[in-house]
Amino acid sequence: MPILEAQHITKTYKIGERKIDVLKNISLKIEAGEVVAIVGSSGSGKSTLISMLSGLDQPTRGRIFVESQDITDKTEDELAPLRNRTIGFVFQSFHLVPSLTAMENITFPAELNGDPQAYAKAEALLRRVGIWERADNFPHQLSGGEKQRVAICRALINQPSIIFADEPTGNLDSANSTEILNLLFELHREKESTLVLVTHNMEIARMADRVVPLQDGEIVGEQVFQPVKDAPTFASV
């Protein structure tokens, strides 16, 4: 069974008397361990699609399955523990809590699960991404690249089976973008997780196992590549 599946999903927004279909009858299956890049221009529906797949939003029509479990009609209270246990998020704008240190931002999801090893796991992740010395810094004291490293650690703290990365380098310069992408792919391979990456950059997308292009809310054809045996290396982005 696929780890993620969308069955004929449509997302419609109403603006005044107008109805706008942001997603139109999309069906998609993603296998465990796969790297899938969702690509398209601004307004194509990329971020809306991963919001549906991750349970952050509900489709107007259609069904969403995560690990064979239908999440379409679940309440927020039912979805929250599932997302915290199964899914990790890395966003373009970092979404760190400004009043928490880097360490506290990372341990927070694990503490919600009652994990007594939260601190030890966070320390190991911070050391792995090379910013252990920043553990006690607040977000405003971190560079953009450091903030995204913290966000990656937070996404991985509960060892999720699926990681969603929505334009994770959108707010970073070229050098930091390259380092963050290399890190994401390396950690994906190490943790054997599924990685769903939203990007407008085809050079990045081509490092995925599969590219799903969106145009005006519809899948317009897929590209499948040979799986990369070793973590790909981005020379520059």
Number of domains in the chain: 1
- Does residue 51 fall inside a structural domain? yes
Radius of gyration of the chain (CA): 18
pLDDT in tens, 81-118: 888 889 999 988 899 999 999 999 999 999 988 999 99
- Does residue 66 fall inside a structural domain? no
> Quick check: 66 pLDDT over 90?
yes
Give CA torsion, residues 148, 110, 32, 12, to 10 deg. Answer: -70
Tokens of residue 7, six digits? 């069955």
- In three-state secondary structure terms, 52 is helix
DSSP state of 229: S
Question: How many Cα neighbours within 13 Å face the side chain of 194?
Answer: 20
CA-nearest of 157, 149, 184 to 84 is 157
CA–CA separation, 54 and 27 (whole Å)? 15
Q: What is the CATH number of the domain that holds 174?
A: 3.40.50.300
- pTM reported for the whole predicted model: 0.88
Q: Are 90 and 155 in contact (CB under 8 A)?
A: yes
- Does residue 27 fall inside a structural domain? no
- Average pLDDT along the chain: 90
Domain that holds residue 120: 33-55+74-224
pLDDT in tens, 181-226: 889 999 899 889 999 999 988 888 888 999 999 999 999 987 776 5
Query: Exposed (0-12), middle (13-18) or buried (19+): which is 229, by Cβ within 10 Å?
Result: exposed
